[in-house]
């Protein structure tokens, strides 16, 4: 899973056709470190359907301000260059899967078995 290092990389990611899941984190954040292996696993499983990227809040204050980050971890689901949903705090894998699939509710190509 790649880390967005600056606003140009952020713009490049948003210009792609795929939806984007942004994971705002910090190296010193315990819940962020607990969430990391889950997000990395999902980035592999969903790689053909969604871009999942990390943003370090300490190194990207401009993007953190733009998204009004007040607590981390914070995950934003972006579709058509617009934030459609967000989740803040530590989440379980099943919660993140529901979060992703909920935002793809009208897309049959993405793991339809999760809608059961």
pLDDT of 28 over the 90 cut: yes
Structural domain that includes position 88: 2-115
**Residue 104 CB burial class (10 angstroms; 0-12, 13-18, ≥19):** buried
Tell me the CATH number at 52. 3.40.30.10
Q: Which one from 4, 20, 21, 29 is the annotated catalytic residue? A: 29
18 is an active site residue: no
Structural domains in the chain (count): 1
Reported as a pLDDT band with limits 50, 70 and 90, residue 105 is: low
Q: Which one from 20, 21, 22, 32 is the annotated catalytic residue? A: 32
Which pTM value belongs to this model?
0.86
Residues 35-89 pLDDT 10s? 999 999 999 998 888 999 999 999 999 999 999 999 999 999 998 889 999 999 9
pLDDT of 110 over the 60 cut: no
29 is an active site residue: yes
């Amino acid at each position: 899973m790649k880390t967005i290092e600056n606003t140009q990389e952020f713009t490049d990611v948003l210009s792609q056709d795929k939806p984007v899941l942004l994971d705002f984190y910090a190296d010193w954040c315990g819940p962020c470190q607990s969430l990391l292996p889950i997000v990395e696993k999902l980035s592999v499983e969903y790689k053909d359907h969604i871009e999942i990227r990390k943003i370090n809040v300490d190194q990207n204050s401009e993007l953190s301000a733009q998204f009004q980050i007040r607590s981390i971890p914070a995950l934003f689901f972006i579709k058509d260059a617009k934030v459609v949903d967000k989740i803040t705090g530590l989440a379980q894998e099943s919660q993140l899967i529901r979060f992703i699939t909920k935002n793809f509710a009208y897309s049959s190509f993405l793991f339809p078995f999760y809608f059961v």
